[in-house]
């Protein structure tokens, strides 16, 4: 596991800031629940949600891709929360109506009807993790996120998403479980009908995003492919024949707009991100590389 150290710059000198531990697990939970979207890109659905007799999910949420999220916290390094968290994922899969009702009560009917149960996520928040935690994560890296936090004084919180020792596999769009009700095509259906040149361009765009780092997780949704670190930073979806759109989590007002770029912060669209990049040719991929890097580094935190 990597060593993280934080220093305060005082002119030409530096002063190291030392971690300050939380005394109560509830303090960590309260902090995250009050800032869930900013920290993890997750909307709060419920706190201490009752999941069957005697079981309570610390935090229940819905992520940017409309997948259910279970969040568990721990202070004790020697205690593992992953086994219990995985059991909660199974509970949600088998009790979708109860999750839908919880979302309906908190976020309304429109959001509840958008929930995608094809995937569920477990996020474990801790100051550190055991070897058992890391071993369990290696078995299911696409279902589990391990997020280590460090608190420095009262003014700084550092988050580190732990990644698998093997780079997480890229997503190849599939038709299984990805077709949205209605007439909209899934990514796989659209891509299958495209020319070899468009398919190659699609792969080149995915490669440009993946090249940003080994900590990128990919997830196919109904109508897009999401790329995330702790939270989404880019997503890819189709536009029309021979063209598709890359959406980046950047503030359009801070970007030098040009042909092929559009501010969609107030426009409904598939995928997540406020800056739309229209991809029509290999040059578009090359031209947008700097913006992809900026989004990856957290251009919109």
Please indicate, yes or no, whether residues 140 and 227 belong to a single structural domain of this protein. Answer: no
Final residue in a domain of this structure, among 127, 162, 197 = 162
Reading the block at residue 170, the tokens are 């890229």
The SS3 of residue 19 is strand
How far, in Å, CA of 257 to CA of 255, rounded? 6
Strands ordered across the beta sheet of 68-74:
42-50, 56-63, 68-74, 121-126, 144-152, 156-162
DSSP state, residue 135: H
Alpha-carbon gap, residue 123 to 72, rounded angstroms: 6
Q: Does residue 148 share a domain with residue 230?
A: no
The CA angle 163-46-76, to the nearest 5 degrees, is 50
The first and second tokens of residue 283, run together, are 């040059």
Give one DSSP letter per residue of 38-96, joined into a string. HHHSEEEEEEEEE-STT-EEEEEEEETTS-EEEEEEE--TT---HHHHHHHHHHHHH-H
Does residue 245 sit within a domain?
A: yes
For residue 255, what are the domain limits? 187-296
- Choice among 202-211, 242-251, 292-301 with the minimum mean pLDDT: 292-301
For residue 220, pLDDT beyond 70: yes
Domain tally, the chain: 2
What does the mean pLDDT of the chain come to? 86
Residues 135-145 as b or e (16 or more Cβ within 10 Å = b): ebbeeebeebb
Min mean pLDDT across 34-38, 97-101, 187-191, 211-215 is at 187-191
Q: Each residue of 254-283: pLDDT tens digit?
A: 999 999 999 999 888 888 899 999 999 999
CA angle 171-172-176, nearest 5°?
Answer: 105
Place of tokens 């992953």: 82
d(CA 155, CA 104): 35
Could you tell me if 272 and 204 lie in one domain?
yes
Are 144 and 85 contained in the same domain?
Answer: yes
When pLDDT is cut at 50, 70 and 90, the band that residue 179 belongs to is: very low
Residue 273 maps to a domain: yes
Domain for residue 249, yes or no?
A: yes
Residues 11 and 158 in one domain: yes
């Amino acid at each position: 596991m990597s060593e993280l150290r934080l220093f305060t710059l005082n002119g030409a000198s530096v002063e190291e800031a030392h971690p300050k531990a939380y005394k109560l697990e509830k303090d960590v939970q309260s902090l995250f629940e009050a800032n869930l979207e900013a920290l993890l890109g997750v909307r709060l659905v419920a706190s201490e949600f009752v999941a069957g007799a005697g079981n309570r999910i610390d935090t229940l949420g819905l992520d940017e891709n409309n997948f259910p999220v279970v969040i568990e916290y721990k202070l004790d390094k020697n205690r593992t929360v992953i086994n219990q968290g995985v059991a909660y994922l199974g509970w949600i899969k088998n009790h979708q109506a109860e999750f839908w009702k919880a979302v309906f009560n908190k976020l309304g009917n429109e959001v509840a009807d958008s929930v995608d149960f094809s995937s569920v996520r477990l996020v474990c928040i801790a100051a550190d993790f055991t070897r058992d935690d890391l071993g369990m994560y290696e078995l299911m890296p696409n279902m589990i996120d391990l997020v280590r936090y460090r608190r420095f004084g009262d003014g700084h919180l550092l988050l580190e998403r732990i990644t698998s020792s093997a780079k997480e596999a890229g997503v190849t769009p599939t038709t299984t479980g990805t077709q949205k009700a209605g007439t909209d095509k899934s990514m796989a259906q659209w891509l299958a009908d495209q020319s070899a040149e468009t398919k190659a361009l699609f792969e080149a765009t995915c490669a440009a995003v993946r090249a940003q780092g080994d900590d990128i997780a990919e997830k196919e949704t109904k109508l897009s492919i999401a790329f995330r670190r702790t939270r989404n930073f880019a997503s890819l979806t189709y536009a029309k024949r021979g063209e598709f759109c890359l959406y980046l989590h950047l503030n359009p007002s801070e970007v030098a707009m040009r042909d092929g770029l559009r501010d969609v912060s107030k426009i409904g669209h598939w995928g997540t991100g406020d800056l739309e990049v229209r991809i029509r040719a290999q040059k578009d991929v090359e031209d947008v590389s700097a913006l992809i890097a900026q989004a990856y580094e957290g251009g919109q935190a």
